[in-house]
Amino acid sequence: MTPLRTQMIHEMPLQRLAPQTQKASVTAVAGFATFYDCSPDRLRPEYIRTYLHHLLVERRLAWSACHQAAAGLKFFYTKTLGWDVLHLNLPPRTGRSPLPHILSIEELQCLFTHARNPRHRVLLMTTYAAGLRVSEVVRLRLTDIDSDRLLLRVEQGKGRKDRST
Percent of the chain with pLDDT over 70: 93
Same domain? For 115 and 60 the reply is no
pLDDT higher at 84 or 33: 33
Task: Return d(Cα 81, Cα 47) in angstroms, integer.
Answer: 16
Give the residue numbers spanning the domain of 21: 3-80
pLDDT in tens, 83-92: 876 666 666 6
Taking the CA atoms of 36, 40, 45 and 49 in sequence, report the sign of the dihedral they define: positive
Residue 95: band (very low, low, confident or very high) from pLDDT cuts 50, 70, 90: low
Same domain? For 72 and 139 the reply is no
Q: Number of C-alpha atoms within 13 angstroms, CB side, residue 4? A: 19
pLDDT in tens, 98-150: 888 889 999 999 999 999 999 999 999 999 988 888 888 888 889 988 889 98
Domain count, the chain: 2
Q: Does a structural domain hold residue 93?
A: no
* Average pLDDT over every residue of 36-45: 88
Same domain? For 11 and 68 the reply is yes
